[in-house]
Amino acid sequence: MQVTHLPVKNQEYNLSMSTAYFAFIDRLNDFLPRDLRNQVIQVEFRGSQSIKHLAESLGVPHPEIGQVQVNGQERTLATITQDEDRVEVSPIPNGATAEPRFLLDNHLGRLAAYLRMLGFDCLYRNDFADKELAELAQKEGRILLSRDRRLLMRKVVTLGYCLRSLDPTQQLSEVIQRFALSARIAPFHRCLRCNHPLEPVEKEAVLDRLEPLTRQYFDEFQICPACRQIYWKGSHYDQMKKLIEQRVDGASGE
Ligand SMILES: [Zn+2]
C-alpha cells in the first residue's frame, strides 16, 4: 500500500489528521502516478474533505467518476470523508448519452474535424479561455473533451472526458468507445468548418464555383447554409471513409 500525504493549507495545520483508503477502478488509474496505480492508496488529510476533493487531489477529474462506495455503501462525490473510510471510486461506464454534443478545447482541432465528419455536433474554436470552455459546456449541456484535467476539474463541468492519447485518430477511437457512438455515425452531414448541418444543393446552383474536373466527375453536392462551403464525395471522401471504418472497428473491438 502506498501512502500519500495531501498538501495541507495554512489554516488546516491545527486540524487533526485523518486517514482514508482509496481504491480507483479500471481506467481511473490512468490519472494516477505510476507507483499508485491499481492498489489501495492510504491518504492522509486534514479537516473536512469531500471524496471529490480527495480524488481530484490525487489527479482524478470528477467528470470521469461514476459510482462511489464508502465502506461498501453507495455514496456520492459530495460525501465528506471520515477517518478510516475505505473508498472505492469507479469510472463512468462506457455508454451512450441521450444526445452526444461536444465542446472541444483549443488543442483539438483535428479531433473536432473528425467528429464532424462522422456527423457529430462539435463546438470548437481555438481561442476559448478555460473559464469560457467550462461555462459553455455547462450552459449548453455539452460534453467537454480535453487533455487538460485541470480544466475538467473545474466545478461547473459536469459532462467531460479526458483524452488519453495525443494522436487525433486514437482520440477519435477513445470518444467513439467512451460514448458508444458507432451506431449514431452519419458521415458527411455536418460542415467541417463551422459545424452546421449540410443541405443538398443542385449542381446547377453551384456550377460556377466548381473546378473543371469536379464539374465533370461529380453530380451530388451538399452545401453549408451558414458558410456556403460546398461538399462532394471526392478523393478525400474515400480516405475519410477508410479512416472512419478503421476507427469504428478499432473502437468497438476493444
Ligand atoms: Zn459551414
What is the grid cell recorded at 149? 484535467
3-state secondary structure 47-74: CCCEHHHHHHHCCCCHHHEEEEEECCEE
The model's pLDDT over 61-107, given as tens digits with 9 standing for 90+, comes to: 999 999 999 999 999 999 999 999 999 999 999 998 888 999 999 99
- How far apart are the CA of 230 and the centre of ligand 1, in A? 9
- How far apart are the CA of 223 and the centre of ligand 1, in A? 8
For residue 77, the tally of other CB atoms under 10 A from its CB is 16
- How far apart are the CA of 188 and the centre of ligand 1, in A? 12
The sign one gets for the Cα dihedral 107, 139, 150, 128 is positive
* Strand-pair category, 73-75 with 221-223: unpaired
Q: How far is CA 148 from the centre of its chain?
A: 10
- How far apart are the CA of 15 and the centre of ligand 1, in A? 57
- How far apart are the CA of 125 and the centre of ligand 1, in A? 13
- The pLDDT confidence band at residue 4, using thresholds 50, 70 and 90, is confident
Q: What is the pLDDT of residue 253?
A: 43
Q: What is the pLDDT of residue 251?
A: 57
Q: What is the pLDDT of residue 96?
A: 85
User: Per-residue pLDDT for 239 more than 60?
Assistant: yes
Q: What is the pLDDT of residue 99?
A: 84
Of 75, 144, 114, which Cα lies nearest the Cα of 236? 114
- How far apart are the CA of 41 and the centre of ligand 1, in A? 49
Let me know: does 178 contact 168? Beta carbons within 8 Å: no
- How far apart are the CA of 135 and the centre of ligand 1, in A? 24
User: Per-residue pLDDT for 19 more than 50?
Assistant: yes
What is the grid cell recorded at 5? 500525504
- How far apart are the CA of 196 and the centre of ligand 1, in A? 6
What is the grid cell recorded at 144? 467537454
- How far apart are the CA of 225 and the centre of ligand 1, in A? 7
Average pLDDT taken over every residue of the chain? 91
Q: What is the DSSP letter of 94?
A: S
User: Per-residue pLDDT for 150 more than 50?
Assistant: yes
- How far apart are the CA of 171 and the centre of ligand 1, in A? 23
Let me know: does 67 contact 2? Beta carbons within 8 Å: no
